[in-house]
Chains A and B, each alone.
Chain A
């Protein structure tokens, strides 16, 4: 083996190690621990806004749903539907959510607020 061969080998070894590391970290959807908690707001199945939690202070914004405009409020680590244009207001009555896996749905407006992140919970029955 010449000196060049050794460099080549070392290079290939390094490359394969790096590719392993890359495959198992970046592309692994279940590495989980790097995932931050965020509130994901979607309209008719399309994500329209993501907010990293906790938020310093509070923030509210409107979402134009199918039946009118709804107001989403984020405060610290929790989120709620503050205002809704519908009569039932099930989403508003649901109050605050904060744990990953929890969600609030405005059915007539087709608006969904979900908290995503690392969690011991896969879902919540309610």
Chain B
């Protein structure tokens, strides 16, 4: 072999090496599903190193599990799960004494109180007695009597939740009060998990917490994540496609945890002011960076009338709203990206204001 042939061979080896190097740098996918917080949580991450991806996802789940335990309202008294639950301990001491809690419990309650005030009580974490009365969360939800509802409503009062940030204590002033973080904890935990992924250097991820979506960066094709909004009346259809980057989309709707009694359908999102399921809207989706805020606001906007919701959404920076009203009208914030695709089909009308 002459010298002249060595050169091209070296060049070929170099190309081969580069190909291998490129391959090792290619994006890999890692996906994991876990049943947590009464739902299925799926985390999909992309990166160069499987081991790092696996570690990041494990850390994210650990954090979600920790928040889930703090906020769990259902364990049996006397169990370890009950002692680990700040919510159980706070409820147990209602009308008696302040309870020392985790930083995250304080943060969740302060966030909740802020939006209780902003929405004039359309959302309230003290709906516990009402939820219990209706039996949502248990096996046999049923329609309570009007008298029972007005009794339970007396215990719905965020003003009687005393959160002491310095001492990290929470006190329910009245006996019988009960916190329910059902509209807060999942979103809050999702946001914490997203931040943990970012801390682990993840720049492409999708967390699907029972339909609460939080995305990091862009998808594996380097485009915005394409997230569908479920059609509230047709299970295998969607009503819109949202292109999302570094944000979250959370939906509250009337099609889960519902039951029928005397020919009428009742679902689990109660209006804390009336004690009955909210009826203005059948599906609301909030798009905003923080999944914790999105979770709370999706409930707020589900309970308020559509006009009021769109008006209020427009006053909160970085918050966008998509909703389907009870009379099957699709409406959304004017600021939603022009790239949103609305698929109204024959079921809905679309108000493009």
CB distance B213 to A123 under 8 Å?
yes
- B235 and A95 contact, CB distance less than 8 A: yes
Q: Which of A28, A32, A42, A99 contacts B33 (CB 8 A)?
A: A42
Closest B residue to A79 using CB positions? B236
| Cross-interface CB contact of B250 among A28, A93, A125, cutoff 8 Å | A125
Whether A123 lies near B236 (C-beta < 8 A) is: no
Can you spell out 16 A-B residue pairs with CB atoms less than 8 angstroms apart?
A1-B4, A8-B9, A9-B9, A9-B12, A16-B12, A27-B26, A30-B221, A45-B34, A97-B236, A99-B228, A105-B35, A123-B213, A124-B238, A125-B229, A125-B242, A125-B249
Q: Kindly state the separation between the CA atoms of A98 and B39 in the bound complex, as whole angstroms.
A: 21
Q: Do B228 and A101 touch across chains, with their CB atoms under 8 A apart?
A: yes
Contact B227 A123 (CB under 8 A): yes
**Which B residues contact A (CB, under 8 angstroms)?**
1-2, 4-5, 8-9, 12, 15-16, 19-20, 22-23, 26-29, 32-35, 38-40, 42, 139-140, 206, 208, 210-213, 215, 219-221, 225-230, 235-236, 238, 241-242, 249-251, 253, 255-258, 285
Q: B230, A124: Cβ atoms under 8 Å?
A: yes
Q: How far is the CB of A40 from chain B (nearest CB, A)?
A: 10
On chain A, the residues within 8 Å of B4 by CB distance are: 1
Query: Which residue of the partner chain B has the closest CB to A66?
Result: B35
Contacts of B250 in A (CB 8 A): 125
Nearest CB of chain A from residue B334's CB, rounded to whole Å: 20
Closest to B39 in A: A107
* B228 in contact with A45 (CB, 8 Å): no
Give CA–CA (A9, B2) in the complex, Å: 12
Instruction: List A residues 12-40 near B (Cβ within 8 Å).
Output: 12-13, 15-16, 19-20, 23, 27-30, 32
A123 neighbours in B (Cβ, 8 Å): 206, 208, 213, 225, 227-228
User: Looking at the complex, which one of B15, B28, B34, B236 makes contact with A99 (CB distance below 8 Å)?
Assistant: B236
B236 touches A93 (CB 8 A): no
What residues of chain A lie closer than 8 Å to B211, measured between beta carbons?
Answer: 124-126
A57 interface hit (Cβ, 8 Å): no
Instruction: Give the contacting residue for A97; candidates B12, B40, B235; CB below 8 A.
Output: B235
Q: Is the CB of B32 within 8 A of A102?
A: no
Q: How far is the CA of A60 from the CA of B4 in the complex (A)?
A: 68
Question: Of residues A80, A123, A126, which shows the largest number of chain B Cβ atoms within 10 Å of its Cβ?
Answer: A126
Cβ-closest 9 pairs across A and B: A95-B235, A126-B211, A105-B40, A126-B230, A87-B139, A124-B228, A125-B249, A122-B225, A125-B251
Residue of B with least CB distance to A105: B40
When C-beta atoms are compared, the residue in chain A nearest to B230 turns out to be A126
Residues of B within 8 Å of A68, CB to CB, are none
User: Which one, B19, B27, B220, contacts A19 given CB within 8 A?
Assistant: B19
What B residues does A110 contact at CB under 8 A? 35
Which of B39, B220, B228 has a CB less than 8 Å from the CB of A105? B39
CB contact under 8 A between A27 and B40, given known A19-B16, A123-B225, A125-B230: no
CA distance A14 to B42 in the complex (A): 43
Count of A-B contacts with CB under 8 A? 123
Q: Are B236 and A105 in contact (CB under 8 A)?
A: no
Q: Which chain B residues border A15 with CB–CB below 8 Å?
A: 16
Q: A9-B8, A107-B38 are in contact. Are A28 and B26 (CB under 8 A)?
A: yes
Decide yes or no whether A64 CB sits under 8 A from chain B: no
Q: Is the CB of B206 within 8 A of A122?
A: yes
A112 sits at the interface (CB 8 A): yes
Are A29 and B28 touching (Cβ within 8 A)? yes
Which of A5, A8, A99, A112 has a CB less than 8 Å from the CB of B238?
Answer: A99
Residues of B within 8 A of A112 (CB): 33, 40
Q: State whether B12 touches A125 (Cβ < 8 A).
A: no
CB neighbours of B2 from chain A (8 A): 1, 5
Alpha-carbon distance A27/B22, docked complex (angstroms): 12
Highest count of chain A CB atoms <10 Å: which of B33, B219, B236: B236
Taken together as a complex, chains A and B put the C-alpha atoms of A13 and B227 apart, in Å, by 44
Does A107 contact B206, Cβ atoms closer than 8 Å?
no
Please, which residues of chain A bring their CB within 8 A of the CB of B38? 107
Complex Cα–Cα for A82 and B221 (A): 35
Residues of A within 8 A of B253 (CB): 126
**Docked complex Cα distance between A123 and B221 (Å):** 14
Residues of A contacting B16 in the complex (Cβ-Cβ under 8 angstroms): 15-16, 19
Contact A29 B226 (CB under 8 A): no
* A121 engages B228 (CB within 8 Å): yes
